[in-house]
């Protein structure tokens, strides 16, 4: 008999020319010829184009918001600047600190606890998922991220010690003392090197070390109240500029779209901290919310990658099955 093919969704129904439904032939989509292959190829191209466009938009948006953030903070902390824009409590401490008079339970202490605990959780995720096909790109930054998170937490631990012994506010009141060579070396090795490597995973370690030394030296000229803004700005510029400089093939990957999204929540939290510390941010937890937003955002991103690469994709049968239908 002669049959013509009517494609409905992913199943082709074959009927006789006299339109009598005596037989129904369920065919694999491959029997429809090159049209299906072309459709699949077009879909993949459209998805890749969507990933690139969305990734470009998010990267540029977060980068621009980061620049506006640091300009706002620097301008409104200058002598004679208008009052009431940047939160006065934040301006005093450089952070939004809760429980500053409660030993081992200030925002700096809780930052240390959160960073250590979540570093352990991320490490567990990494060792469980790093060898899964497709997880190579997202897993590449995890070791450096864990080291940077721990270094970040330890830095907050030292700040908590100063808060307990009273030297934290004393240093702020008396002026910004230049860090010692030992302090700068520790900061470079434990914080900036892993932080910049996590931000720019494709950069060689020797270049990361040089850049970390430059950034560490530059931090010695930054006022204590602006250290947080300095670190966040350097990290965001590193992350998003390096993302925008990826090759076209790398931008077509799904991770190019999802990676910059992990920086959206931390930036939103940072704006809330600097603008609304006294109204509600401090009572909600203070600066620990910022640290938590970083690690939680990355965990969501990493889990999304895992879910995407382990979810089975539907496949069609390679056979055509003919069934009789009664009239």
**41-70: pLDDT as tens digits:** 555 566 677 889 999 999 999 999 999 999
In the prediction, which pLDDT does 50 show? 84
- Residue corresponding to tokens 């879909």: 43
In the prediction, which pLDDT does 42 show? 56
What pTM was computed for the model?
0.79
**DSSP 8-state class, residue 226:** G
Enumerate residues 6+ apart whose C-beta is below 8 A from 171: 162, 177, 224
Q: What is the DSSP string of 129-176?
A: HTTSTT-HHHHTTHHHHHHHHHHHHHHHHHHHHHHHHTHHHHHHHH--
| 3-state secondary structure (DSSP) of residue 13 | strand
Where is average pLDDT lowest: 3-12, 15-24, 130-139, 284-293? 3-12
In the prediction, which pLDDT does 51 show? 84
In the prediction, which pLDDT does 232 show? 92
The residue among 38 and 194 whose pLDDT is bigger is 194
In the prediction, which pLDDT does 183 show? 86
Q: Are the C-beta atoms of 256 and 246 separated by less than 8 Å? A: yes
Q: How confident is the model at residue 17 (pLDDT cuts 50, 70, 90)?
A: very low
- In this structure, what are the phi and psi dihedrals at residue 19, rounded to the nearest 5 degrees? 65, 20
């Amino acid at each position: 008999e002669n049959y013509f093919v009517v494609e409905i969704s992913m199943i082709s129904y074959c009927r006789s020319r006299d339109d009598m439904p005596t037989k129904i032939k369920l065919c694999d989509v491959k029997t429809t010829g090159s049209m299906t292959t072309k459709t699949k190829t077009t879909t993949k191209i459209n998805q890749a184009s969507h990933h690139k466009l969305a990734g470009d938009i998010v990267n540029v948006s977060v980068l621009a918001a980061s620049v506006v953030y640091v300009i706002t903070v620097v301008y409104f902390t200058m002598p004679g600047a208008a009052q009431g824009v940047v939160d006065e409590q934040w301006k005093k401490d450089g952070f939004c600190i809760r429980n500053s008079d409660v030993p081992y339970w200030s925002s700096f202490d809780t930052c240390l606890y959160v960073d250590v605990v979540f570093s352990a959780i991320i490490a567990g995720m990494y060792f469980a998922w790093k060898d899964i096909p497709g997880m190579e790109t997202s897993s590449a930054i995890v070791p450096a991220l864990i080291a940077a998170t721990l270094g970040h937490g330890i830095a907050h631990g030292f700040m908590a010690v100063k808060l307990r012994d009273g030297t934290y506010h004393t240093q702020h009141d008396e002026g910004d003392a230049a860090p010692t060579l030992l302090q700068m070396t520790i900061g470079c090795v434990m914080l900036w090197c892993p932080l910049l490597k996590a931000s720019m995973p494709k950069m060689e370690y020797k270049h990361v070390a040089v850049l970390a030394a430059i950034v560490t030296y530059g931090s010695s000229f930054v006022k204590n109240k602006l250290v947080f803004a300095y670190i966040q700005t350097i990290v965001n510029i590193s992350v998003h500029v390096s993302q925008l400089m990826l090759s076209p093939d790398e931008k077509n990957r799904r991770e190019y779209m999802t990676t910059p999204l992990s920086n959206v929540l931390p930036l939103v939290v940072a704006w809330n901290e600097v603008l609304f510390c006294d109204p509600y941010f401090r009572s909600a937890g203070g600066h620990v919310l910022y640290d938590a937003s970083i690690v939680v955002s990355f965990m969501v991103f990493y889990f999304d990658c895992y879910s995407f690469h382990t979810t089975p994709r539907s496949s069609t049968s390679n056979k055509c099955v003919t069934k009789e239908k009664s009239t």
